């Protein structure tokens, strides 16, 4: 079961809201997502917009600095997110 449905059920079970309010919230969220999806079709990106300073930093990452995503490489290895 999706997390949103579990949360809806909890809110209904505890009496924090009613079915009509849940339906209004669902509709509002759905309408926002539909509007955003529709407007996304009109967005045109230029290649230059994707080539920003942040991407340059990622492309030029040097492991000798010992940091990845702002964390020390030793910490990443400690939690098992990096291979030696």
Of residues 1 and 15, more confidently modeled: 15
What is the reported pTM?
0.49
List, for residues 17-33, the tens digit of each pLDDT value. Answer: 999 999 999 999 999 99
The distance of Cα 30 from the centroid of its chain, to the nearest Å, equals: 17
C-beta of residue 11 within 8 angstroms of C-beta of residue 24: no
Q: Which residue is listed with tokens 């999806």?
A: 37
Q: Which of 67, 57, 60 is nearest to 82 (CA)?
A: 67
Of residues 57 and 9, more confidently modeled: 9
3-state SS, residue 18: coil
Look at residue 54 and tell me whether its pLDDT is greater than 70. no
DSSP element (H, E) containing 67 = strand 67-68
């Amino acid at each position: 079961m999706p997390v949103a449905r579990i949360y809806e059920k909890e809110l209904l079970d505890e009496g924090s809201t009613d079915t009509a309010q849940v339906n209004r919230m669902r509709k509002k969220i759905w309408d926002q997502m539909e509007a955003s999806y529709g407007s996304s079709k009109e967005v045109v990106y230029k290649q230059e917009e994707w080539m920003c300073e942040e991407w340059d930093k990622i492309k030029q990452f040097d492991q000798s600095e010992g940091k990845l995503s702002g964390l020390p490489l030793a910490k990443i290895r400690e939690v098992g997110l990096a291979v030696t």
